[in-house]
Amino acid sequence: MAEAGKLRFHVPEPEVRPGGTPDFSNVPIPKAGSVPKPPIDVDPREIRDLAFSIIRVLDRAGEAVGPWAGMLSDEELLEGLRHMMTLRAFDARMQMAQRQGKTSFYMQHLGEEAVSCAFRKALDKGDMNFPTYRQAGLLIADDYPMVTMMNQIYSNEADPLKGRQLPIMYSSKEHGFFSISGNLATQYVQAVGWAMASAISGDTRISAAWIGDGSTAESDFHSALVFASTYKAPVILNIVNNQWAISTFQGIARGGAGTFAARGLGFGIPALRVDGNDYLAVHAVAKWAAERARANLGPTLIEYVTYRAGAHSTSDDPSAYRPKAESEAWPLGDPVVRLKNHLIHRGVWSDERHTQAETEILETVIAAQKEAESHGTLHAGGKPSIRDMFEGLYAETPPHLRRQRQQAGI
């Protein structure tokens, strides 16, 4: 009783640390097909439970079931599989290129390929994403040239960003991909501003904001939700919950809230949780949100429940903070394998064709890599000019920068 009046400080801890046995038994996984699909004009108050469930389409047998199924054709699904496989192969090659010293840094998507690849197909041409560093599937699925991505990663003479940006911080207005900052959460409210501008202009285009579980703790996440809620902006607010923010488990950002999606409820924003490793579910929920935005029904918050199977970046070693086998124990499986099994179940795919596709995709990626490397890599071959460092900061280079450029002998 002596402790009764004494305050206790609480620091959340993950269930298991290195050396322990991975245990996701506390993660409730609803059955595929069990979550209803409301009409897009539903009153957000009537679907509050969707912020605490997980919308899933693919069941364990590889069948697409329930009200969110049936939106994609065989061709579209085969294309989706190809996009995810391409992203995975691209990642593997670029991860290796970093280890070979051809670039300084890389960030892969392993285990999260479905999120950005499927989402892109729910948007239209002209819509704008404000991505984080782990949504390159938005570019792959929009057929952005892999060579150009690699040129950026290598900061070589053909780098469209002239060597100014950290690898993978792509930018492509044409492909609806806003310049990645490397800063955290700033893009979330910028996406809302873009959507507000589209609405002010009487346009039909919408935007999508991206953030990770960890960065939802940033003030700009709150700013974005306030602005999106107030102005009913035509924006899709995406949270990719891959369980880990570098070494910090998602409980540190989530705090006492049941889920990240639940953050939307206080703003009156419809909030849905979706199986992020289920290509069909991601696409269906994103499409639902896009239709709401286009119908002037305002923003939708989506939490993609997934797992970062790889390291945060090439500068990170997850074995220092989580069990090595944790990713294999992740109950939502591998997005590529799940879509592959579904396509086999549909009778349009086979193990043989999959293996063959893997080989073909790898060849395509290697060909792109060879072409990119002909323009140089970070420390060898063609590189951006020193002049590029001084230019392009302002539309017109001001006198003080011109003087500094001259001092540098350029």
Applying CB under 8 A, the residues found at the interface with other proteins are 128, 130, 160-162, 164-165, 169, 171-173, 178-179, 181, 183, 186, 188-201, 207, 219-220, 222-224, 226-227, 230, 392-395, 398-400
Pick 86 or 148: Cβ nearer other proteins: 148
Q: Shortest Cβ distance from residue 155 to other proteins (Å)?
A: 12
Smallest distance, other proteins to C-beta of residue 385, A: 13
* Residue whose CB is less far from other proteins, 47 or 189: 189
Tell me the closest approach of the beta carbon of residue 161 to other proteins, in angstroms: 5
Q: CA torsion 127→140→287→196, rounded to 10°?
A: -20
For other proteins, the closer CB: 207 or 341: 207
Residues 150/126, Cβ–Cβ less than 8 Å: no
Backbone angles phi, psi at 249, to 5 degrees: -70, 160
Quote the CA–CA distance of 71 and 37 in Å, as a whole number: 13
Amino acid found at 89: A
Task: For the CB of residue 408, give the shortest distance to other proteins in the complex, in Å.
Answer: 15
Helices (H), 245-320: 251-254, 279-294
User: Nearest Cα to 282, choosing from 349, 208, 171?
Assistant: 208
Q: How far is the CB of 128 from other proteins (least distance, A)?
A: 7
Q: Which is nearer to other proteins, 58 or 228 (CB)?
A: 228
Closest C-alpha to 258, from 54, 51, 56, 55: 51
- Considering beta carbons, is residue 16 or 217 the nearer one to other proteins? 217
> What tokens appear for 61 in the block?
């047998």
Q: Which is nearer to other proteins, 364 or 397 (CB)?
A: 397
Closest approach of other proteins to the CB of residue 183, in Å: 5
In this structure, is the dihedral angle defined by the CA atoms of residues 213, 218, 221 and 222, taken in order, positive or negative? positive
The answer to whether the beta carbons of residues 29 and 54 sit under 8 Å apart is yes
Cβ nearer to other proteins, comparing 84 with 235: 235
- Sequence-ordered list of residues with C-beta below 8 angstroms from that of 62, at least 6 positions apart, any chain: 338, 341, 342, 344, 345
CB closer to other proteins, 20 vs 392: 392
Q: Is residue 169 within 8 Å of 161, Cβ to Cβ?
A: yes
Q: What is the CA 126 to chain-centroid distance, rounded?
A: 19
Least Cα distance to 117 among 331, 278, 243, 234 occurs for: 278
What is the nearest approach in angstroms of other proteins to the Cβ of residue 387? 13
Closest separation between CB of residue 181 and other proteins, Å?
6
Sheet strands (E) in 220-349: 235-241, 244-245, 248-249, 271-275, 300-305
The count of residues in the chain is 410
